[in-house]
Structure formats: C-alpha cells, structure tokens
Amino acid sequence: MSHRVSTKTEITDKGLAIAALTQAGISFRESGDQIHLTSGDVRNAVINLKTGEISGDTDYQHTTQKFGVLRQFYSEAKFLSEAAKTGTIIEQRDVDHEGNIVLTWSMG
C-alpha cells in the first residue's frame, strides 16, 4: 500500500536548488514553483520551492533519508554561493567515509 513521504527543508531558492541537483547528478524538470525529480533514488519526488517541502511516495521507495541527500547538496550550494560573495576560495572538496561533504577553504 502506498504512503506519502514528505520532509520539510530550507530548499526554496530555485537557482541554488538547480545547482545542488546538477552537482548531485539528479535530472529534473521545472514547473512553476515546483521541481520534479526525474532520476536516481528520488525519481518522481517533488520539491515545492514555496514551502521547501520534498514529497514523494513509498511506491517509489522514497524515504526521508533519501531526501536528506538533497538537503546536503543544497547546503553545499548555499555555502558556495555565500562564499563567492565574500571572496572565500574553496580549495578542496572531499566526501568522507560517512558520506559527509568536507570543504577546505581559505579567505580571499
């Protein structure tokens, strides 16, 4: 039996969301204030840019944990955007053994 899965996030900036999805290698299509995800573990999920909610369905094996990857990439995109405004230079990007993104930077 199908169940709706949703999680509240801060994903409300379309440009940052697109940058995050591109970095994550997730394809998508835009439709007004929504981004429909079309690939990967989050295929058929929808990001509502007005509310930040990501919604999906258990029929597609969606879980809040799988949606967490989107939050992680969005946080990185947001940090990179803010860093660029202040002249901060990202020197290195790594992913540790737990899947966390680790950025090394220096002040410009």
pLDDT digits (tens, 9 = 90+) for 12-28: 999 999 999 999 999 99
Contacts of 48 (CB under 8 A, 6+ apart): 33, 34, 54, 55
Asked whether residue 53 carries a pLDDT value surpassing 90, the answer given is yes
Q: Let me know: does 56 contact 64? Beta carbons within 8 Å.
A: no
Q: What is the dihedral of CA 102, 67, 28, 55, to 10 degrees?
A: -150
Q: Which residue matches tokens 């999680």?
A: 7
pTM, two decimal places: 0.86
**pLDDT tens readout for residues 57-78:** 999 999 999 999 899 999 999 9
Summarize the confidence of residues 30-42 as an average pLDDT.
97
pLDDT, position 87: 87
